């Protein structure tokens, strides 16, 4: 079974600075998908960025980028120019492309606070 | 609809009672997922539907939990004889199909068992 580990329960950053959230995972599969989701106090999970394991290039979405290290099974999220609205809980998630492709496996989450 | 809609938003129930949680997926989305988020925990997969069928219900924690989906649209998660450890936020998500990677989440139902 796949597992996802986020080792940072809480992080904080000053507005306009850069922060990196860590995520490691364990799988025996070669093809899979990785995601970062944001959960603000409204509880609604919002997709921030996704990465296909077969792509070597790191995904980027505006101020959000990932550092995907397939051999190390590491998938960190970098937030540049942090904004107050980035304050939320962030979850790393894994999705198989095999027989269990219908479900996401989530890490425990990292609470990010952006200070003015 | 415009997004995934869940009802009720909050539910308080007495231990031993049955509860039903409802999820309305985005129109046209054939895949629907249920997750549970306990206090301070990550999200735990419960079950997913492709159409009205549930190919994977491996996450349902006990036989007190069941879910159904009718007409390929609305889904209901039922918890019988609720217990205090069932207290959690229950999140529903939908996607165009189960192989489509982007899932859209609702705002969840916060269930409190007293």
CB contacts, 8 Å: A50 with chain B: 101-102
Q: How does the average pLDDT of chain B come out, rounded?
A: 92
* Alpha carbon of A26: minimum distance to chain B alpha carbons (Å): 16
| Minimal-distance CA residue of chain B relative to A95 | B101
- Structure token digits, residue A24: 């490691």
- Structure token digits, residue A79: 């937030």
Asked whether A48 and A36 are in contact (CB, 8 A), the reply is yes
Q: How many CB atoms lie within 10 A of CB A58?
A: 15
Asked if A105 is an interface residue toward chain B (Cβ–Cβ < 8 A), one would say yes
Determine the pLDDT at residue A100.
65
Nearest to A108 among B42, B99, B110 (CB): B42
Length of chain A, in residues: 116
CB contacts, 8 Å: B48 with chain A: 102-103
* Alpha carbon of A30: minimum distance to chain B alpha carbons (Å): 17
CB contacts, 8 Å: A102 with chain B: 31, 33, 48, 50, 55-56, 98
Model confidence over A29-79: pLDDT tens digits? 888 999 999 999 888 899 999 999 988 899 999 999 999 999 999 999 999
- Structure token digits, residue A83: 């904004």
Determine the pLDDT at residue A16.
97
Find tokens 């603000």 and name the residue: A40
Tell me the CA distances in angstroms from A30 to A52, A53, A54, A93, one per residue in order. Answer: 11, 7, 8, 16
Determine the pLDDT at residue B55.
86
Nearest-10 Cα torsion for A78, A79, A80, A82: -150
Among B13, B14, B11, B16, smallest CA distance to B81 is for B16
d(Cα A38, Cα A92) in Å, to the nearest integer? Answer: 9
* Alpha carbon of B2: minimum distance to chain A alpha carbons (Å): 14
Q: Per-residue pLDDT for B79 more than 90? A: yes
Tell me the CA distances in angstroms from A73 to A34, A42, A65, one per residue in order. Answer: 11, 31, 17
């Amino acid at each position: 079974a796949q597992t996802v580990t986020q080792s940072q329960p809480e992080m904080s950053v000053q507005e306009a600075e850069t922060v990196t959230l860590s995520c490691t995972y364990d799988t025996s599969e070669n093809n899979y998908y990785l995601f970062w989701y944001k959960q603000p106090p409204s509880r609604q999970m919002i997709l921030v960025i996704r990465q296909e394991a077969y792509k070597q290039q790191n995904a980027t979405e505006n101020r959000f980028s990932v550092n995907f290290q397939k051999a190390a099974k590491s998938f960190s999220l970098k937030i540049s120019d942090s904004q107050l609205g980035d304050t939320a809980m962030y979850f790393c998630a894994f999705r198989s492309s095999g027989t269990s492709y219908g479900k996401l496996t989530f890490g425990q989450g990292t609470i990010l606070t952006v200070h003015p | 609809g415009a997004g995934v809609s869940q009802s009720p938003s909050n539910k308080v129930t007495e231990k031993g009672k049955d509860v039903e949680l409802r999820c309305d997926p985005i129109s046209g989305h054939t895949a629907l997922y249920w997750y549970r988020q306990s206090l301070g925990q990550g999200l735990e997969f419960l079950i997913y539907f492709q159409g009205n069928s549930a190919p994977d219900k491996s996450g349902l924690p006990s036989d007190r939990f069941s879910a159904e989906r009718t007409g390929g649209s609305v889904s209901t998660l039922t918890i019988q004889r609720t217990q205090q450890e069932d207290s959690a936020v229950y999140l529903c998500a939908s996607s165009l199909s189960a192989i489509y990677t982007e899932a859209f989440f609702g705002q969840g139902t916060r269930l409190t068992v007293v």
